[in-house]
Chain A
Amino acid sequence: QKEVEQNSGPLSVPEGAIASLNCTYSDRGSQSFFWYRQYSGKSPELIMSIYSNGDKEDGRFTAQLNKASQYVSLLIRDSQPSDSATYLCAVKRRTGRRALTFGSGTRLQVQP
């Protein structure tokens, strides 16, 4: 089992719709969770971080964390073609190695 799992996609949504990206993780002791966006050929850029159970909203983005289910998601409202990219979920453990563990990413395509 991979430490961080994401559906590779592509996830295709029409412009203006809500895109829902999901991520599960195996280490129950994980404490910090991040979503990065990566355009083709570019480096990842941070979209959101979340540390506590529940929802965290920032503009059109909402991150959701459920530690009991070991599940974190990212919702993108009013999706735009410019949101088309690969979205990487990353997790930091509570103890041990202090580097992030990344999922393989979900490719999102927003159709105009």
Chain B
Amino acid sequence: DGGITQSPKYLFRKEGQNVTLSCEQNLNHDAMYWYRQDPGQGLRLIYYSQIVNDFQKGDIAEGYSVSREKKESFPLTVTSAQKNPTAFYLCASSNGQARETQYFGPGTRLLVL
């Protein structure tokens, strides 16, 4: 099956802890994205990567970090600097061309203990 997988489905973070959310795709897409969604809100862009070993900050990058060492993988780390991390995190990918359509993974819900 081709698609985007995210793990875990639920993640609990203790205060002061860094946590990493996994995102893997087997669609051979060049571009990958991380969004955050708060209840009743739209999606806000955290980071995106158009190509391996390169990534750009989105609108709300503070308190987050990413890496793109492989085309298939784009993990997101929520650091202790992110003071309000409780949200639904969505990973997406696209083929990176001009009329690119983004496809989403199932999401990870992060909760603070």
Contact = CB atoms under 8 A, between A and B. Distances in A.
B15 to A, nearest CB: 26
B48 A99 contact: yes
B43 A32 contact: no
A43 B90 contact: yes
B33 interface: yes
B41 A44 contact: no
For chain B, the bracket of interface size reads 20 to 34
Contacts, number: 57
Interface stretch (B62-70, B79-87, B94-102): B94-102
Contact of B42 (A31, A43, A51, A102): A102
A103 B100 contact: no
11 contacts: A4-B42, A31-B99, A32-B98, A44-B43, A46-B102, A97-B56, A102-B42, A102-B43, A102-B44, A104-B42, A105-B42
Interface of B: 31, 33, 35, 40-45, 48, 50, 56, 58, 90, 96, 98-107
